[in-house]
Structure 1
């Protein structure tokens, strides 16, 4: 089993002065079914760096929840995800982004996001070369053009990009949430397995 570094969303608890890191529990079973062990990365750059150095994960997943950049109070998560993107790139390791994770990857590679409607709390069939995905979407910002070096893998009903992959590096990202599907369909299974495979 390979260790896969996986990020967490940052939740700010109003009235309690608490900041919590959280991960959708479905990721545990999903990664286990694919033969991987999750290495959960906190939203603290120093601790994230220490965990990477100690455990040397074989792949990286940037999960959903929130929006990268100055419009969201998550600068520490931005730093951690930049660190992980650079770690995966410098080691030629698989990198998978999910929703916010795709947005973070796109921004790191010079892409830009635009506001979209009709993508929050929706479910639709999205087709990629892996088949038709039961796409659970919860995003208000999307890509209309792939960043340099990337190609679209799936397109939404409104022309926005639902998935991208790098032309030469093992980087792939999706705007939907496969972990929220209840049971993983074959297209998502194949996409995730292929995205996280190591040499």
Structure 2
């Protein structure tokens, strides 16, 4: 099985004075169903000094030790909401680019991919806790849980699918094996065969 590094959301519990990394168990199950071995990434591995410098830190050592063969940026949290998560995912994308690793960004993960490529986000209505059809190179009925959308397709990417109201729902890098999906494949009652198949193709799983 291919090892895939999976980013995590950050949940804050003031009553316990705790910040926790969290990952929906259904995402682990979805990745396992595609023949992948998911390994969650802690958001405290990526250290950053007050002046913004990035030292040779534990995330670098973790990636070298794990040697993931693919990366998944999970959903949850808005971009900019949690500095440590933003830094972790930026570093994961840098690692994926330098090692030519495949990447799937789910919902916020797609937004992070776009932003790191110079794209911008915009608020969107009618896309939280609903379903809609997407069309283009991907034609499907998908779930939707996001309050932000891509303002435009970033450079070096192509649009794979749009929603009925014209919002960008999926993108793919023009030269790297990177895709972003705004829907959550793990939140389907039964995983959609087209999502599993597309993931296997993206991550080159026979």
Is the TM value for this pair above 0.5?
Answer: yes
**3-state SS, counterpart of residue 16 of structure 2:** coil
Structure 1 segments of 4 or more deviating over 6 A?
none
* Cα offset, 1:40, TM superposition: 0.9
Counterpart residue number, 2:120 = 112
Aligned: 1:141 with 2:148: yes
CA contact (8 A) 2:138 2:160 kept: no
Residue of structure 2 aligned with 1:173, choices 153, 156, 180: 180
What TM-score results when the alignment is normalised by the length of structure 1?
0.93
CA RMSD of aligned residues (A): 1.6
* Cα offset, 1:126, TM superposition: 1.9
**What pairs with 1:119-134 in structure 2 (closer than 5 Å)?**
119-132=127-140, 134=141
* Cα offset, 1:42, TM superposition: 0.7
Provide the rounded CA distance (Å) in 2 between the counterparts of 1:42 and 1:111.
Answer: 26
CA contact (8 A) 2:127 2:146 kept: yes
Residue of structure 2 aligned with 1:161, choices 168, 171, 182: 168
Q: Which runs of 5+ in 1 are unaligned?
A: none
Aligned: 1:6 with 2:12: no
**3-state SS, counterpart of residue 15 of structure 1:** helix
CA contact (8 A) 1:136 1:176 kept: yes
* Cα offset, 1:197, TM superposition: 1.9
Counterpart residue number, 2:54 = none
Provide the rounded CA distance (Å) in 2 between the counterparts of 1:128 and 1:34.
Answer: 24
Q: Which runs of 5+ in 2 are unaligned?
A: 47-56
Larger radius of gyration: 2
Counterpart residue number, 1:82 = 90
Paired residues in the alignment total 195
CA contact (8 A) 1:97 1:105 kept: yes
**3-state SS, counterpart of residue 175 of structure 2:** coil
* Cα offset, 1:14, TM superposition: 2.9
Counterpart residue number, 1:60 = 71
1:80-110 deviation line (CA, Å, top 9, x unaligned): 0001000000001101100110111000000
**3-state SS, counterpart of residue 165 of structure 1:** strand
* Cα offset, 1:198, TM superposition: 6.6
* Cα offset, 1:63, TM superposition: 0.3
